[in-house]
Chain A
């Protein structure tokens, strides 16, 4: 930036590309925390991140292709081999375990974090192309979002202090 303007709030954008229970956390945690620290935040939801804007969330986690996912169990950590992760019901079990841990450890749910983000006036943009591609309807999405594309994102990103891709 060529000129310093101390009065202008800092700003951040995040491109949100993943919609599983585990990957939904980083963008919402950073967005709410940044907003609490006085940062203007814009989230751009695209591809598999877009369902995070649906009114009703039913987020899942998978052990497949996730070799570093170590779930605490009986004082140890259990890593699920991919071969077992492929079996029906295993992802459901892993999701339930994760949700139980989240509740037990005082970690906010994604629904709570999303409500807080809305309350803190985090701007949320739904990728119009992804809406078309995956046949999402605007009426299934939460209120207060805007529709836009790459140019909308770029305009925000170009004037932001921090731009992340998650």
Chain B
């Protein structure tokens, strides 16, 4: 003979495990209602009216207690002290954070091959050639190449850092319109390229480059 219904704890009443989540509790409550509510075929004639009412009020109480976080915690505490259930690890499950689709490692270790941007800026301000080029009203691919070699960076370095394909960088430097990516992409590529070189006023410079390149020769 098993325990009477009113001797069961709320988890046993609803047939759920002590670590059930609210979704499971609601589901179990609905299932219990299907069993015990008046007019249910399952329990037809099984209980007298009084018994049915008693059971339904117990089920209701069980649900109200377990669905509320605070009252559930209190109830769990009494069950634990009675030794009916074991203490649960209370730490809330880790909330899911958005996962980056492209897992690009930009940690410091990956950057060691490059000269730090401070050092680049230093070099730029010291180099006469670069200041001259930047002073011009036009900025061609050739100029970009010159700045790059002056700074001692290779195309591969740039490609690694900006994730722009090597042949795209090459076409930017060669300034051949037919080999270049479409203008929408080109603009973005040039900006990242300039940024990678450690130049300031990237917007203005990229606009200057775009004007130079698109002008018919």
Are A and B a genuine interacting pair, yes or no?
Answer: no
Report A's interface with B, CB cutoff 8 A.
none
Report B's interface with A, CB cutoff 8 A.
none
